[in-house]
Amino acid sequence: MTGSPNTAGFSLVENPWIPVLDGAGRRQELSLPDLFTHAGDIRMIACELPTQSFAILRLALAIVHRTTGGPPGEAAWRALWRDRQLPLTDIADYLGAFRERFDLLHPERPFYQVADLRAAKDNTYGLERLIADVPAGMPFLAARAGPGMESVSPAEAARWLVHCQAFDPSGIKTGAAGDPRVKGGRGYPIGVASAGSLGGIHLEGANLLETLLFNLVPVAPRWQRSDERDLPVWEREPQTACEEPDSTRGPFGLLSLYTWQSRRVRLFGDADRITGAMVAIGDRLDWHDRHLLEPMSVWGRSGPREREQKRTPVYLPRPHDHARALWRGLQTLLPSPPPGAEPAQRLSPMVVQWLASLSVSGVVGGDFQVRPRATSVTYGTQQAVIDEVFSDALTMNVLLLVEDSALRTAAVDAAADAEAAVTVLRRLAENLRRAAGGRDAESGEGQRAAEHAYTMLDRSFRDWVARLGPNSDPVEERSAWQRHVRRSVSTLAADLVAAAGPKAWVGRPGVDRNGRGVHYSSPQAEAWFRAGLAKALPMASSQQGREDAP
């Protein structure tokens, strides 16, 4: 349908629109004020996609940061933590003062939109550009195809609007009238939306109140910087179709990062149903060296940027590897030891570093558990479509976040133990393939064996690391883990050998990795496997008589 102007309001301050789970696992929707008022009783924000939840959490954090004034220093944060209380009166007053800017359908200043946004020609707008779970060009694959795409409620549209500003793909957009970047009615790609480049990490507490406080890094030396120009978008002049000039665009801090306007959007419909959306290009964001502003991402050095700019280090956010469970990349998540002469290759998220410091200072007790949750997106076809949304979490004791903690070392080494053992299993599968006469290029057995092993070890590692605490013996815990890995991988190995058949038992001559002539057979492959496993898991091999569960 052709878009029609918005005539009735939908206030995000007055109307419920944020899905949450309460402590009993019941789902409900809350307005912005109720989200904060009931934060102690809410388990988590629970949207349709984890990227929606992450984007709305950042919106909520922008409000809390603004109403706490930072918070201005570590002492101010500690007072909030001690009282387990948000400044609810200040939040209510703040939302009341800017109530008009939180109206989704305001005729002049609609939330996260440009009121008079239009194309040069009278275009027809549907919802496929706004809703991220509709495959581009393949609507028949989406559960909401047909009537589900004709309209959505204003509450759902609000969630997708926040998501669009954070995770919208790149690609050609509708050209907005008045935007000098538009050519031939098209807005050409400026990259994915702001959070789409992040390896997003936030810390989940026992409830939303703890989650908000854990991710509320204060303005203090070594932590967040304060810049008076840093404001959330609703405190600034409304956006136009044009990109904001470099001199005023920022980002000047996390308030502008959390509410960054990556797109120019206009919703069409009324307070009953939203029927369409125009999505145009917005403000570009260069993420290099923003690690001192953006607290919720993993960072890594960029060799190409360092060569281009002729300086070191240059850091960029690092999206998560969607093929690996979070525990398999545990070392990149946890704070690194102090760097030496060479700058660190990886930086853990500031929120993780902040909680680690709270554990060291005793503000958060050593028996406290937290759940780092990873969220990121894989984009495909020149970043113009969303291929996959990644979300994973890991429950752990706060002592694992401390740089010089023996428990942290044990956990990181335990993840590496599993990787080493699976590598040995992968090699066994490949050797059995050779013994049976197959060519290496035809073999997928190694990868399938590895995937099976990781699946088997996944729940075990999560349970094991969740049990680690201040009274755990790191050496004994890692030894127990290695014994468990040895048992699990050995069981899979026995199945592989048994399935290889008589042809592999007889074997055939071949050449090993070093160019030496060898005879591949299932007995020989199994012997190599046992030797490799003993090397990969030395603590298990030295205590073979002990079969304690990890």
Q: How many CA atoms lie within 13 A of 240 on its CB side?
A: 8
pLDDT of residue 544: 53
User: For residue 258, what are the CA distances in angstroms to 97, 166, 194, 208, 288?
Assistant: 20, 8, 9, 18, 16
The residues that bridge with 280 in the sheet, in sequence order, are 264
Give the pLDDT of residue 545: 42
The CA-CA-CA angle for residues 227, 265, 91, to 5°, reads 45
pLDDT at 548: 40
Q: In 283-410, where do the E strands start and end? A: 299-301, 315-317, 346-347, 369-380, 385-393, 396-397
Q: Kindly report whether the global pTM for this prediction surpasses the value 0.85.
A: yes
Map tokens 């059995």 to a residue: 432
* Domain covering 406-541: architecture: Orthogonal Bundle (1.10)
Burial class of residue 532 in the structure, from the number of CB atoms within 10 Å of its CB (0-12 exposed, 13-18 middle, 19+ buried): middle
Instruction: Tell me how far apart the alpha carbons of residues 92 and 96 are, in angstroms, rounded to a whole number.
Output: 6
Alpha helices by DSSP H, listed for 383-473, are: 406-435, 445-467
Which distant-in-sequence residues (6+ apart) come within 8 Å of 300 by Cβ? 315, 316, 318, 345, 346, 347
Structure tokens at 45: 């924000």
What's at 422, amino acid-wise? Answer: V
Amino acid at 488: S
Mean pLDDT by 10 residues, the chain (550 residues): 56 97 93 97 95 98 95 94 94 96 96 95 84 56 59 96 97 94 94 95 96 94 86 95 90 94 96 95 94 94 92 93 91 78 88 93 90 94 92 94 90 96 95 82 78 96 95 95 96 94 88 81 93 94 49
Rounded Cα gap, residues 411 and 346, in angstroms: 18
Per domain, the residue ranges of the chain are 18-198+210-281, 299-401, 406-541
**Share of residues in the chain with pLDDT > 90 (%):** 75
Question: What are residue 510's DSSP bridge partners?
Answer: 518
Instruction: Report how many helices (DSSP H) and strands (DSSP E) the chain contains, helices first.
Output: 16, 16
pLDDT digits (tens, 9 = 90+) for 73-82: 999 999 999 9
